[in-house]
């Protein structure tokens, strides 16, 4: 198959990264988790106590170095000023920082090139919020993966409980609703379905069913 990209957008907890990873290994293409880049900015903002001010952040971002590389197993690593922050960015509080700072035009602009470079160099699947609408409007395949907030919160809650953490379902649901609202209502590149994206609601579908559906869609369209 020639060079092509797959854009997967949708709210947090819809299963984007699981589907994207599975597609990347089934189709032998690269995977870029773009949320990790926004999380790296969020982590830097938290550590250095940045204000949510576009002009100031724009200047500060000029001094920050964010890079992505892949290990022998194909796992993505994100580097913040040379430090591998791939684990640090998964902390729960970083989600909120990533979401808040991702609304700033300077942050979106700073991360755009990196995303487009990966996508133009390699056939890739990218997951995020604005891949189909803004980063790769010409992606060959576009998927909008969603699920109800309650189902997404339940999946996240089960995940945290399985890790031995003490959490309340209502708090997990409130966090998801808050993040959805911010990601969908920001002025620049808000989360929304691209007109030409195929929408999949995974409320009543297993991960395997979603993967099968997407692989069939891609194979029919080669």
- Beta carbon nearer to ligand DC, 103 or 218: 103
From residue 164, how far is each of 15, 67, 94, 167 by CA, in Å?
A: 21, 32, 20, 9
| Stretch binding ligand DC (CB under 6 A), from 32-40, 60-68, 76-84, 199-207 | 32-40
- Beta carbon nearer to ligand DC, 4 or 190: 190
| Stretch binding ligand DC (CB under 6 A), from 48-56, 92-100, 148-156, 210-218 | 92-100
- Beta carbon nearer to ligand DC, 29 or 128: 128
10: enclosing H helix or E strand = none
Q: How far is the CB of 21 from ligand DC (least distance, A)?
A: 13
CA 141 – CA 78 distance, rounded (Å): 25
**Counting contacts by CB under 6 A, is residue 12 touching ligand DC?**
yes
Binding-residue total with ligand DC (CB under 6 A): 15
Helix segments in the chain, DSSP class H: 16-27, 35-48, 54-61, 92-101, 105-121, 149-162, 169-185, 207-220
**Counting contacts by CB under 6 A, is residue 102 touching ligand DC?**
yes
Among 15, 128, 132, 149, binds ligand DC (CB under 6 A): 128
Q: What is the pairing mode between strands 83-84 and 5-9?
A: unpaired
- C-beta separation of 129 from 16 below 8 A: no
65: enclosing H helix or E strand = none
**Counting contacts by CB under 6 A, is residue 149 touching ligand DC?**
no
**What is the radius of gyration, based on Cα positions, of the chain?**
17
Among 8, 22, 38, 136, binds ligand DC (CB under 6 A): 38
Q: How far is the CB of 216 from ligand DC (least distance, A)?
A: 25
Give the side-chain half-sphere CA count within 13 A for 218.
Answer: 22
**Counting contacts by CB under 6 A, is residue 21 touching ligand DC?**
no
Q: Which residues bind ligand DC (CB under 6 A)?
A: 12, 34-35, 38-39, 95, 98-99, 102, 128-131, 179, 183
């Amino acid at each position: 198959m020639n060079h092509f990209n797959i854009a997967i957008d949708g709210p947090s907890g819809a299963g984007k990264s699981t589907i994207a990873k599975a597609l990347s290994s089934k189709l032998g293409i690269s995977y870029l988790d773009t949320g990790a880049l926004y999380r790296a900015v969020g982590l830097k903002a938290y550590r250095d106590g940045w204000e949510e001010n576009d002009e100031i952040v724009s200047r500060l971002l000029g001094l920050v170095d964010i890079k992505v590389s892949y290990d022998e197993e194909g796992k993505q690593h994100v580097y913040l000023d040379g430090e591998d922050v791939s684990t640090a960015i998964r902390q729960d509080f970083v989600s909120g920082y990533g979401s808040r700072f991702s609304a700033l035009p300077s942050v979106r602009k700073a991360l755009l090139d990196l995303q487009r470079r990966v996508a133009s160099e390699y056939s890739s699947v990218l997951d995020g919020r604005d891949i189909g609408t803004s980063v790769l409007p010409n992606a060959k395949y576009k998927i909008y993966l969603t699920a109800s907030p309650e189902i997404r919160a339940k999946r996240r809650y089960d995940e945290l409980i399985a890790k031995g953490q003490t959490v309340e379902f209502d708090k997990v649901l409130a966090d998801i609703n808050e993040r959805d609202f911010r990601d969908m209502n920001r002025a620049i590149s808000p989360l929304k379905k691209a007109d030409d994206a195929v929408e999949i609601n995974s409320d009543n579908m297993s991960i395997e069913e979603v993967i099968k559906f997407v692989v069939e869609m891609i194979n029919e369209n080669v």
